[in-house]
Copies of this chain bind each other. A is one copy, B any other.
Amino acid sequence: MPDNFTLAHQLAHRTYRAFRPEPLPEATINTLFEVARWTATSSAMQASSILNITDPNLKAQIAQICNQSYVAKAPLLLIFIVDQYRNNAITNDIGHPIETAGLPSRFFQAFTDACITAQNVVNAAESMGLGTCYLGSILNDIPQLVQALKLPQLTFPVVGLMVGLPDQDPGQRPRMDKSLRIFDNTYTVFDDYAQAIADYDVICEAYYRQRDPKIETPTFSGQLVKRLSAANPRRELILDFLRAQGFSLPERADD
């Protein structure tokens, strides 16, 4: 299989949640931001932004929203956001207001831009020997986050990211086989997913039991049942929060 410096890091990817406390050098942070800036962007519109959370009080508040205390200790804590505010403001301020930056297609373009920027930063960080951890949990309380970060209309939080020098050695969590996730041409539906996932369940069980012999739910399918059963009703209100941020998501197309 082809191999190079980048691939080696990518194939060894793992998530780190504990970091050495020292802040990252300014030059390292600037490099991550340069990489972010050069990320591919839909129609060159650059409709995403990054908030670099340096204020310890704000870090603590975000940790509380995430319900993950380690977030407060992240050496570098970034929040990637949809940003159609800037482009909308540019058209206004140059005297050509357009008023389409809040349409659904614009939201999804910008959401995609924000995500791929985050992953580009992850790859850059890993290439420099740093560890990373995505934080989907910033979406636990969107209105609180919007207020804390002073996010204007036509912006929206997408994902958080912790970056730092690893201070732990987590294993590489197994992944399901390619045959379950990558298909030729059209989507492949399996006859029996219990059977299709059985081998992966065995692999996961061995991995998790080695890490914690007392683990109650070591299989992928068991963990899946648990995760899909966990309810956070506030996270299901995302469309309301999107509308509150000025995105015109119609209730029905013919409204």
Q: Which residues of A contact B (CB under 8 A)?
A: 1-2, 4-7, 9-13, 15, 27-28, 30-31, 33-46, 48-55, 58, 81, 83, 85-96, 98, 100-101, 103-106, 108-109, 111-112, 115-120, 122-124, 126-128, 132, 134, 136, 139, 148-152, 155, 158-159, 172-173, 175-176, 178, 180-187, 189-190, 192-197, 220-221, 223-225, 227-229, 231-232, 235-240, 249-253
Contacts and interface: CB of A to CB of B under 8 A. Distances in A.
A184 B139 contact: no
A100 to B, nearest CB: 5
Contacts of A104: 235-239
A9 to B, nearest CB: 7
A238 B106 CA distance: 11
Given A104-B238, A229-B100, A181 B49 contact: yes
B240 A49 contact: no
A49 B183 contact: yes
28 contacts: A2-B27, A4-B127, A5-B6, A6-B6, A6-B127, A15-B40, A37-B175, A37-B178, A37-B181, A37-B182, A44-B223, A50-B183, A51-B187, A52-B182, A58-B186, A81-B187, A90-B196, A91-B224, A91-B228, A100-B228, A104-B237, A105-B236, A116-B116, A116-B134, A119-B120, A149-B185, A240-B253, A251-B251
A56 to B, nearest CB: 11
A123 to B, nearest CB: 5
Contacts of A236: 103-105, 250, 253
B185 A33 contact: no
